[in-house]
Amino acid sequence: MTKHKPPAARPSPSQRRLLEELTALAAAHAPDLRITGRPRTGTDGLVTVPISVRTSNMPHVAGGLPLQQSEDFLLTLPATPMIPPQVRTSHIRFAGTPHVLQGNRLCLYLDPAREWDPAAGITPVINRLWQWLTDAAAGAFDAATALYHPVGGVLHHTPGTATVVVREPVPHRPATAWLTQRTPDRLDLTCAPADPHSHRTPILPVDTLPLGAGSTLAELLTLTRPPTAHDPQTADAASPALLTALAASALRNPEDTPQHFVLAVRHPTAPATPVFLLVGRLPPQAADTLRRLARRSTPSRLGSLPEELADVPLAWCYLSDERPEVTTRRDTLRPVRVFQDCHIHIWGCGGIGSWAAEMVARAGAAHLTLSDPGRVTGGLLVRQNYTEEHLGMTKATALASRLRTLRDDLRIDIAAPPPDPALLKAADQADLVIDATVSITAGRFLDLLAQQPYRKAVLAQLATDSLTASLGILTIAAPDTPTSLSAIDHTVGGHVLNDPSLEAYHALWDEPDPGEELRPTRGCSTPTFHGSAADLMATTATLINMLGTQMRHPVSGTHLCAQPHSGAAPAHRFIPYPTG
């Protein structure tokens, strides 16, 4: 039988196109760009091309990356054009420079989905490489945003691992933290055990990780050695402190459970800033081996890495780093920022109130007081912020339970509806009272609160139209005025009804026609209104944004707004309440 040599892999059409473009580019830009060897197609389908970039003319500043006259790279072309080419070096001289992964891989695309255009060809890739070299030589990377990639880099994520949520400060010193499973996909890292099932997790301080943290325990122990003693070729020089901490934690955690650990890594150029975090995981079997070894000999006497653990594969967990010192809220420039840390009363948890509550809760309100004794029934789910789980509960109770699932740190009270005397101090104690009840009684009660001297709260009424729920009305009584919301509404209503250009909003002051409201069930059912969740969420969101905009400098008056699909014009109008 003749033994045939397997046919050499051939470049895919997209790889051939990139190679042709690269050849043409090099010919046009010699000697700045040169192809220095033959393209090779690996068994994995990747095509690798050696290239050289002339860097002698790139300005170098003190602290910038030292470059040779020209630099060599390996350009790897994926078999599919949907993945961007990669650039790496055959040396580790660039290790420690921002945007270098594992010492030799250049990160040219932070977000390939938005930055890589499969139709653009090879030229943008070479331009990005050129720009990287120019910036590196000039020391132009911003230390705050250009992460030192081994920390938090994309390579430290093993598919299938749970996400670790970190909200508490993490020190750069050896310490013990606790991991608690909250959902199958989530582990919370805390400085104290959250429940009896929390697992001990060592925090291991590391100065820098220029070559990454590796994929086996042996690599990890080698790479986390102090940089002065760094020698990646020496595999047996393990970090005894790390191994000891791992063994000590494993010993006190249950059998057959994985052992996690946290690497707290200093920023190489900004050591005073909060540490970067990596969370790794030893599989249960390896953790059990570590436990067994630690029982034989105290953890501190384990010495060098036992051979049976050397090649244990590490998993790296995705990290949701929510520590305030490293995280910026995504809404800080938006109108709702004003609700952050506020105490807000929400009276009426229906089509408007249930969504308004969620919006201010997500905006960071510290304390909500909810009031609505109505019950959640199935028909409401098409437009109100409830789920099947809430059927039969009072709306305030149901909404509180929903909001508690949004944020752990939100305080929620449930109050009796106005005019309960317990609410008489509401306007003095809260920052904002939102009446979304469309209740005459609640409106009257708010009028009473408006008269209170030195009241603190902005008083606001939110409503939509009973025909389509796509119009919105927001009436505000500023804290510095005793004018009641009823008076504002009455005055503004007169203005609106006399203004033909606001005809679309006349219905907000008019009694609905018999056919406009809906009687959803047979018999003497309470009239309700038409409107979808989309209508009510959109209208409520618009009103909440208006309210947020006004909260900083409240002016008494009324906002009218309409959703784009309603076609009502004008889409927004503010009618100030005349003063003086």
Cα pseudo-dihedral 27, 31, 34, 36, rounded to 10: 120
Pair 50, 72: CB distance under 8 Å: yes
Pair 356, 370: CB distance under 8 Å: no
Q: Is 117 in the site for other proteins (CB under 8 A)?
A: no
Q: State in angstroms the smallest separation of the CB of 417 from other proteins.
A: 13
From 27-35, 107-115, 165-173, 527-535, span contacting other proteins (CB under 8 A)? 527-535
Residue among 35, 489, 538, 575 that touches other proteins (CB under 8 A)? 489
x/- letters, 431..450, toward other proteins (CB under 8 A): -----xxx-x--xx------
Residue among 37, 512, 570, 578 that touches other proteins (CB under 8 A)? 512
> Which residues does residue 367 pair with via DSSP β-bridges, in sequence order?
343, 411
Q: State in angstroms the smallest separation of the CB of 510 from other proteins.
A: 4
Residue among 242, 352, 433, 547 that touches other proteins (CB under 8 A)? 352
Residue among 359, 467, 551, 561 that touches other proteins (CB under 8 A)? 467
x/- letters, 282..321, toward other proteins (CB under 8 A): ----------------------------------------
| 343-347 vs 367-371, strand pairing mode | parallel
Q: Is 226 in the site for other proteins (CB under 8 A)?
A: no
Q: Is 496 in the site for other proteins (CB under 8 A)?
A: yes
Q: Is 373 in the site for other proteins (CB under 8 A)?
A: no
Q: State in angstroms the smallest separation of the CB of 515 from other proteins.
A: 8
Closest to other proteins by CB, 200 vs 395, is 395
Residue among 150, 160, 258, 240 nearest 201 (CA): 258
Q: State in angstroms the smallest separation of the CB of 500 from other proteins.
A: 5
Residue among 465, 548, 550, 551 that touches other proteins (CB under 8 A)? 465
Q: Sort 241 into a burial class: Cβ within 10 Å, 0-12 / 13-18 / 19+.
A: middle
Q: Max Cα separation, the chain?
A: 106
DSSP of 320-386: EE--TTT---TTTTSGGGGGTT-EEEEE--STTHHHHHHHHHHTT-SEEEEE---B--GGGGGTSS-
Sequence-distant (≥ 6) Cβ neighbours of residue 120 within 8 angstroms: none
Residue among 308, 420, 428, 503 that touches other proteins (CB under 8 A)? 503
How many residues form the binding site for other proteins (CB under 8 A)?
Answer: 54
CA dist 541 and 357 (Å) reads 11
Residue among 68, 501, 521, 579 that touches other proteins (CB under 8 A)? 501
Helix (H) or strand (E) segment spanning residue 264:
strand 259-265
Handedness of CA 575, 549, 423, 414 (dihedral sign): positive
Q: Is 359 in the site for other proteins (CB under 8 A)?
A: no
Q: Is 418 in the site for other proteins (CB under 8 A)?
A: no
From 47-55, 308-316, 407-415, 484-492, span contacting other proteins (CB under 8 A)? 484-492
> Which residues does residue 243 pair with via DSSP β-bridges, in sequence order?
none
Rg (CA), the chain: 32
Q: State in angstroms the smallest separation of the CB of 486 from other proteins.
A: 5
Query: 52: how many CB neighbours lie within 10 A of its CB?
Result: 18
Residue among 351, 364, 548, 557 that touches other proteins (CB under 8 A)? 351
Pair 579, 557: CB distance under 8 Å: no
From 89-97, 127-135, 197-205, 492-500, span contacting other proteins (CB under 8 A)? 492-500
Region of 45 on the Ramachandran plot (φ > 0 left; ψ -120 to 50 alpha; else beta): left
Q: Within 538-577, which residues bind other proteins (CB under 8 A)?
A: 564-568
Q: Write out the residues near other proteins by the rule CB under 8 A.
A: 348, 350-353, 436-438, 440, 443-444, 462-469, 473, 484, 486-487, 489-494, 496-497, 500-501, 503-504, 506-513, 515-516, 527-529, 531, 564-568
